[in-house]
Amino acid sequence: MLIKRRPDIPASEITPEAVFHSRRRFVKELALAAGASFAAPAALANTSYEGKASELGEALTPLDIVTSYNNFYEFGTDKDDPASYAHEMTTDPWTVEVKGEAAKTGQFAFEDLIKGLPQEERIYRLRCVEAWSMVVPWTGIPLKKVLAQFEPNGNAKYVEFTTLHRPSEMRGQRSLFNSIDWPYVEGLRLDEAYHPLALMVTGVYGRELPNQNGAPWRLMVPWKYGFKSGKSIVKIRFTRRQPRNTWNLLAPDEYGFYANVNPAVDHPRWSQATERRLPSSLFNPNRIPTLPFNGYAEQVAGLYAGMDLTKFY
C-alpha cells in the first residue's frame, strides 16, 4: 500500500481552501486529470451556486446549514454537535478494508481507491427519517464504480458499509448515555448499490467534504432515508445475506433495512407524509409533502417490483 504524495505547490498558488491538506489537493488534481467535473479550488466560492436548483426547481439549502445541522451520533446527538466536535477526527491517512465475496480484498489507501474514478456533481434531496430535508450539491463517484473495482463474485448479494470506530476522537462513542453498539453499520442490496443514482460522496458545494458531513467519504442514496447514507466509511464487505444495520438493531419496529422514503408508511411515533425543508423555523416551518422514494420513484421503483413496501419498510 503506497500513498504517493506530490511535491509542495508554491505558496502563491495555494488558495485558502486548498491550504488544508496536501493529500486532498492531490486527490482533486487526480480527479481533474481524469477529466472529471470536480470543482477546482479557485472556483469553490459559495456564490458560484447562486441560482442553482434541483431538477424539480427546488432552491439549494445554504452551505452553512448543510454543515451545521447534522446527524453524526459519533460526535453527539444534538444537531450542532458534529460541527462543534468533528474536527477531532483524523481523516489523513485513511485506510479502507474490503472483505467478503469479491476477488480483490484487503486494506487499501483511500487515495488508491478513488484514483482515476470519475467525480461528478449531483444535486440531491436528502430526506432524514426525522422528517426534515435539504437539497445539496454533492460531489462524488458513482457507487457502482467504487464497488466494481473489487470484482464482487456471484455470491455477493449485498454490501455492508462500516464507519469509523475511534472513541479517542469521537466523543459520542465515549459517552455514558450512548445507546448505539458502535461502529455504525449500514447495508444495501448489491443491485441498489449499483443503481446509477447511488453515490459515494467526497465533496459538497464544490469543496472537500467537511468532517461533520462524513469525510473523507460517505454514502448518498437519495431515495432512502438519510440514515442509510453512512459517513466516514472504513470497511466494505460483500455478503450473501442481508447485513445488519445500526438503526434497525436499535429499534427494529421503527427502522427497517430498506428505508425507502415512503409518505404512506408512517414512523410509529410520527407521520412521514410531510417534511420540514431546511431552512425552517417555528414561524416559517417550510413544510412540504414528502414524495415517494423522495422524488426518485421513476428511476428506482423498479428495484422493488412485487415487494410489499409496508412490510419491507
Q: How far apart are CA 11 and CA 128, in angstroms?
A: 41
Out of 124, 150, 158, 184, the only residue in the binding site for ligand MTE (CB under 6 A) is 184
Q: Is 262 in the site for ligand MTE (CB under 6 A)?
A: no
Q: Is 258 in the site for ligand MTE (CB under 6 A)?
A: no
Burial 275-286 (b: 16+ CB within 10 A, else e): bbbbebeeeeee
**Coil, helix or strand for 8?**
coil
Q: Is 169 in the site for ligand MTE (CB under 6 A)?
A: no
The amino acid present at 239, given as its one-letter code, is T
**Residue 128: count of CB within 10 angstroms of its CB:** 19
Q: Which stretch binds ligand MTE (CB under 6 A): 13-21, 39-47, 141-149, 223-231?
A: 223-231
3-class DSSP string for 26-50: HHHHHHHHCCCCCCCHHHCCHHHHC
User: What is the nearest approach in angstroms of ligand MTE to the Cβ of residue 42?
Assistant: 25
The amino acid present at 25, given as its one-letter code, is R
3-class DSSP string for 190-217: HHHHCCCCCEEEEEECCEECCHHHCCCC
**Coil, helix or strand for 287?**
strand
Which CB atom, from 15 or from 270, has the smaller least distance to ligand MTE? 270
**Do residues 186 and 232 make contact, with C-beta atoms less than 8 angstroms apart?**
no
Q: Which stretch binds ligand MTE (CB under 6 A): 17-25, 145-153, 228-236, 289-297?
A: 228-236
Q: Is 121 in the site for ligand MTE (CB under 6 A)?
A: no
- Residues of this chain, 12-71, that bind ligand MTE according to CB under 6 A: 70-71
Q: Is 173 in the site for ligand MTE (CB under 6 A)?
A: no
- Using CB under 6 A as the binding criterion, the count of chain residues that bind ligand MTE stands at 16
**Coil, helix or strand for 275?**
strand
Q: Is 182 in the site for ligand MTE (CB under 6 A)?
A: no
Q: Is 74 in the site for ligand MTE (CB under 6 A)?
A: yes
User: What is the nearest approach in angstroms of ligand MTE to the Cβ of residue 134?
Assistant: 6
**Do residues 129 and 163 make contact, with C-beta atoms less than 8 angstroms apart?**
no
**Do residues 103 and 240 make contact, with C-beta atoms less than 8 angstroms apart?**
no
Q: Is 226 in the site for ligand MTE (CB under 6 A)?
A: yes
Q: Which stretch binds ligand MTE (CB under 6 A): 47-55, 88-96, 108-116, 226-234?
A: 226-234
Which CB atom, from 25 or from 137, has the smaller least distance to ligand MTE? 137
Would you give the distance in Å from CA 202 to the centre of its chain?
8
Only one residue has cell 467535473, namely 37
Which CB atom, from 67 or from 149, has the smaller least distance to ligand MTE? 67
Q: Is 227 in the site for ligand MTE (CB under 6 A)?
A: yes
User: What is the nearest approach in angstroms of ligand MTE to the Cβ of residue 216?
Assistant: 13
Q: Is 208 in the site for ligand MTE (CB under 6 A)?
A: no
Q: Which stretch binds ligand MTE (CB under 6 A): 36-44, 53-61, 143-151, 225-233?
A: 225-233
Out of 133, 163, 173, 280, the only residue in the binding site for ligand MTE (CB under 6 A) is 163
Cα dist from 123 to 12, 42, 86, 167, whole Å = 33, 21, 24, 33
Q: For residue 192, give the nearest of 258, 238, 272 by alpha carbon.
A: 258
Chain contacts with ligand MTE (rule: CB under 6 A): 70-74, 126, 128, 163, 184, 213, 226-227, 229-232
